[in-house]
Amino acid sequence: MFTALSLLQQRHSVPSRQLGEPAPDEATLQALLEAAIRVPDHGKLVPFRLVRLQGEAKLHFGEQLASIAIRNHPDMSDAKLEKDRLRYTFAPLVVVVVACLHADSKVPEIEQKLCAGNVAYNILLGAYALGYGAQWLTGWAAYDREVAGILGLAEHEHVVGFVHLGTPQIEVPDRDRPALADLLSTWTP
């Protein structure tokens, strides 16, 4: 019984700078994403969608982000500007997970966002299960409306995260994890 939990017990993020080729091939990616979208979805709203960044598109995306960054922060250092420009070029594939919020629904927005977040987490789990590495990142670009426009997002859509995918180029040590005893309590009336 507990061996089935080993995937959850061993999963860890691989820094995007340490993700190289190969990314999942097209058939594997399709299977991974089909599995990832099987999430709890109160109201069957499907409050999410995915945008793929791959190949030269990643560099073009980073260049547009750098333009926004320097316009918004003219005193930004060259190092920070270069970091924004190259941020999406390390992993061979980036999947942008987008929350598509239905304001007219009885389902609270937080539940819709959590649904989209579950998609991002399922991509992480699925990638690990398939032997790939992944990292879920946000950063300022996830919250910037001009960046949302570049990605073709509508006003009711928001980036939940950029999931970087590829093959780990190094062995990543696990980090310290919190103790369950510090987190679990029992409610009594």
137 marked as part of a ligand binding site? yes
Domains of the chain with bracketed CATH: 12-167 (3.40.109.10)
- Name 132's Cβ contacts closer than 8 Å, sequence gap at least 6: 23, 24, 165, 166, 167, 168
Q: How confident is the model at residue 2 (pLDDT cuts 50, 70, 90)?
A: low
17 marked as part of a ligand binding site? no
Structure tokens at 108: 């609270």
- Name 94's Cβ contacts closer than 8 Å, sequence gap at least 6: 52, 53, 54, 58, 88, 162, 163, 164, 165
138 marked as part of a ligand binding site? yes
The pLDDT value given to residue 117 = 98
What digits encode the pLDDT tens for the residues 3-55?
Answer: 778 989 999 999 999 999 999 999 999 999 999 999 999 999 999 999 999 99
52 marked as part of a ligand binding site? no
pTM of the entire structure?
Answer: 0.95
The pLDDT value given to residue 3 = 78
3 marked as part of a ligand binding site? no
77 marked as part of a ligand binding site? no
11 marked as part of a ligand binding site? yes
12 marked as part of a ligand binding site? yes
Q: Sign of dihedral through CA atoms 125, 136, 88, 36?
A: positive
The pLDDT value given to residue 1 = 56
Tokens 């579950």 map to which residue? 118
Q: At residue 179, what are phi and psi to the nearest 5 degrees?
A: -85, 130
What digits encode the pLDDT tens for the residues 81-94?
Answer: 999 999 999 999 99
